């Protein structure tokens, strides 16, 4: 996991490269033709590019980097009053500059484009508000940051019910402001894990982790789609009707940008430490296998109790069904599908990392294949540039997979995850 500032800088550079590639795909020319054709004197039709739109897109893509700079400057603190005033002034200048550029570009876009085209500028925010503002679970990750299972039993139980009803206790404006703040807040704290002894605490911890995981996935999906929209789709909306471009290649670039942004954001918001936390919680939760009626009729069977930690292999009855314990320790509710899904996803700590490697590796191999078959100069250039970015992402994933694979293979031979 990179630092917040380093990741946001690299992510911003990647998006700028992808934006540059999309402009090449749209406004390329046959620049090798004789110079008596004015439009072919350069590699791109620069006179057709809307620079106000390009500036607007750049500011929108830089929003996370700007907020990361401000956050890091705030965390650094001030050694003296002069240092503090310099930090305040720098933050004010940076925010003022971004706001001025944004307003300047919007004014010029309003002057030169129709209202229908301008609606595309804020479409992602219009979608984010109804989808995310009314399903707030942002407190889930805060519940586990200072988890104390011995003292705060009642607090944990109350918080599990609070997560579901949080949206009802806030008005629309508060939810909107909180959602926009989360979009700029990059330093999402990782919950802690204390190996609780009580089955109720284990299940409550799983519920909080589920809400926190869903919140992180929601942020990954929105920010990846947001990036792909402004990088690859929005420039297509402002192309003049007389301008010809390769629609298939531009749409393919859109899909590639979204996949790469999804992988990069997932590795940052779901780091190895966080996946290990989910793995430990899944190991404590356990899993139940539903058996057919009449099977194991001669084996001893028990009535499932929510206050018991069931060992592996035991048979229990719950809701008129027979279940067998599959994990080393089992406190999950046998009929709860969400508990079974949580165990399936996270009982293997490298499952998510392997999935990301498979996705990114498939993208790299496809791009290499497209590079070998490309015949147009803009296809070759775009694939070559984007491949350099993907090589770095794939290298980090493979490096983490090798290191974590060795780390997990050593202790699993000597012990299983136990309840401390």
Classified as helix, coil or strand, 196 is coil
Residues 348-370 have pLDDT tens digits of: 989 999 999 999 999 999 999 99
CB contact set of 165 (below 8 Å; sequence gap of 6+)? none
Q: What percent of the chain is modeled with pLDDT above 90?
A: 30
Helix (H) or strand (E) holding 365: helix 351-373
DSSP states along 367-390? HHHHHHH--SHHHHHHHHHHHHHH
Q: How far apart are CA 121 and CA 109, in angstroms?
A: 10
pLDDT for position 363: 94
pLDDT for position 357: 96
Helix (H) or strand (E) holding 283: helix 272-285
Query: For the residues 121-143, what does the mean pLDDT come to?
Result: 60
First to last CA, the chain: 27
Q: Is the dihedral of CA 53, 128, 205, 417 positive or negative?
A: negative
Q: What's this model's pTM, rounded to 2 decimal places?
A: 0.81
Query: For the residues 189-209, what does the mean pLDDT come to?
Result: 81
Residues 250-259 have pLDDT tens digits of: 999 999 999 9
Classified as helix, coil or strand, 42 is coil
Judge whether residue 279 has pLDDT over 80: yes
pLDDT bin (cut points 50, 70, 90) of residue 234 is: very high
Judge whether residue 102 has pLDDT over 60: yes
């Amino acid at each position: 996991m990179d630092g917040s500032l380093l990741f946001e800088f690299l992510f911003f550079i990647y998006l700028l490269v992808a934006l540059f590639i999309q402009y090449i795909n749209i406004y390329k020319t046959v620049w090798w033709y004789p110079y008596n054709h004015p439009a072919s004197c350069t590699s791109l039709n620069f006179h057709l590019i809307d620079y106000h739109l390009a500036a607007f897109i750049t500011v929108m893509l830089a929003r996370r980097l700007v907020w990361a700079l401000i956050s890091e400057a705030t965390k650094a603190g001030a050694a003296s009053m002069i240092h503090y005033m310099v930090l305040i002034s720098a933050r004010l200048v940076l925010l003022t500059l971004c706001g001025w550029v944004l307003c300047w570009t919007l004014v010029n876009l309003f002057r030169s484009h129709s209202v229908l085209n301008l609606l595309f500028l804020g479409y992602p925010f219009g979608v984010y508000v109804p989808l995310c503002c009314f399903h707030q679970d942002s407190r889930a990750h805060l519940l586990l940051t200072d988890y104390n299972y011995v003292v705060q039993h009642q607090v944990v139980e109350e918080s599990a019910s609070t997560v579901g009803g949080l949206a009802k206790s806030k008005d629309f404006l508060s939810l909107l402001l909180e959602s926009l703040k989360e979009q700029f807040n990059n330093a999402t704290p990782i919950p802690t894990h204390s190996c609780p002894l009580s089955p109720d605490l284990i299940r409550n911890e799983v519920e909080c982790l589920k809400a926190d995981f869903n919140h992180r996935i929601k942020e990954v999906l929105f920010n990846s789609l947001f990036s792909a929209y402004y990088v690859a789709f929005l420039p297509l909306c402002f192309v003049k009707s007389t301008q010809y471009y390769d629609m298939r290649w531009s749409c393919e670039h859109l899909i590639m940008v979204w996949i790469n942004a999804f992988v990069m954001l997932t590795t940052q918001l779901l780091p190895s430490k966080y996946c290990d936390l989910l793995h430990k919680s899944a190991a404590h939760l356990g899993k139940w296998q539903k058996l057919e009626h009449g099977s194991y009729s001669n084996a001893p069977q028990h009535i499932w109790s929510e206050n018991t930690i069931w060992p592996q292999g035991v048979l229990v009855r719950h809701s008129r069904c027979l279940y067998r314990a599959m994990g080393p320790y089992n406190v999950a509710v046998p009929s709860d599908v969400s508990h079974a899904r949580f165990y399936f996803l996270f009982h293997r700590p490298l499952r998510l990392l392997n999935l990301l490697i498979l996705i990114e590796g498939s993208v790299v191999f496809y791009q290499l294949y497209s590079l070998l078959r490309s015949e147009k100069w803009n296809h070759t250039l775009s694939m070559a540039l984007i491949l350099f970015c993907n090589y770095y992402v794939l290298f980090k994933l493979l490096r983490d997979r090798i290191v974590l694979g060795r780390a997990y293979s050593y202790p699993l031979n000597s012990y299983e995850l136990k309840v401390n």
